[in-house]
Amino acid sequence: MDAMKFDKLLQETLEDFDANDHQSSSALTPLREDAFDLSDEEKISRIENDVANILETLGMDMTDDSLKGTPKRVAKMFVQEIFGGLNPKRSPKLSTFDNKYKYGHMLVEKNITLYSTCEHHLLPIVGRAHVAYISNGTVIGLSKMNRIVDYFAKRPQVQERLTRQVVHMLQSALETKDVACVIDAKHLCVNSRGIRDVDCSTITAEFGGAFNKTEVKKEFLEYLRLETAF
């Protein structure tokens, strides 16, 4: 399922959508209808000018060798890298397979490296995601879980929404509700500005289907406590 169809499905099925709480109650990324009318090249050109204006307003000498290429670099980074997950063309291809080996226990992908950007201050979010599912007759390649996390992380985000998006996309791909995700991440908007608490992190979780059962949830969380092999 591509991202455009996925977002449309969420729009039709998710309830209690509140547009006044930074969308944290919803798994929908707040995009305009015309979000993809401009090409990547056109977006880069516009953002390049905007970044140059910001730096000039701050008093920077944009003729300096160190700075004159910065607007273009930032614009390309925004469109092609850290916000590349906004473009549905970059949605991961989620090929699934029959569970021929009849594995009936949960599968856990731990310690998925997470780099995202807080949509409130455009500062980094850095952490780990832990994703699990119980097969309903279908399995997915291990790296696809990493790719789902990376795809939704590459957007202006709030951690609550990101956690839900990962779960909902896996549920759609695997055709099962039995999916869970826990994210533990540091937000530089807290760590490097404002209160400047460098030690705190934020934990969010989304449990679907069987993972809402106490014993299943406990098993999943116990797996997360295990030390990795290497």
Positions annotated as catalytic residues are 118-121, 159, 187, 189
State the Cα–Cα distance between residues 172 and 175, nearest whole angstrom: 5
Cα(61)–Cα(83) distance, integer angstroms = 27
Pairing of β 124-134 and β 179-187:
antiparallel
22 closest CA partner among 182, 162, 200: 162
Please give the Cα distance from 68 to 56 (Å, whole number): 11
Nearest-CA neighbor of 116 among 83, 79, 139, 93?
A: 83
Residue 227, Cβ density class (10 Å: 0-12 exposed, 13-18 middle, ≥19 buried)? exposed
